[in-house]
Amino acid sequence: ERAGARARESERARAQERASGRAQERERARVRAQERASGRARKRERAGARARERESARERESAREKESAREREREREQESRRAREREREQASERESMRAHERERERTRVRERETTRTCKRARERARKRENARARARERERAGMCAHE
Report pLDDT for 60: 95
Query: Quick check: 147 and 138 in contact, CB under 8 A?
Result: yes
Q: What is the pLDDT of residues 76-115, one digit of tens each?
A: 999 999 999 999 999 999 999 999 999 999 888 877 766 6
Q: Is the pLDDT of residue 142 over 80?
A: no
19-63 pLDDT, tens digit each: 888 888 999 999 999 888 888 888 888 888 999 999 999 999 999
Q: In this predicted structure, what is the pLDDT of residue 116?
A: 60
| Domain coordinates in residue numbering, the chain | 2-115
Q: Are 123 and 104 in contact (CB under 8 A)?
A: no
List of residues 6+ apart from 128 with CB closer than 8 A: 113
For 60, 127, 130, 135, the CA distances from 146, given in Å and listed in that order, are: 77, 17, 15, 9
Confidence at residue 114, expressed as pLDDT on a 0 to 100 scale: 64
Average pLDDT on 115-130 reads 80
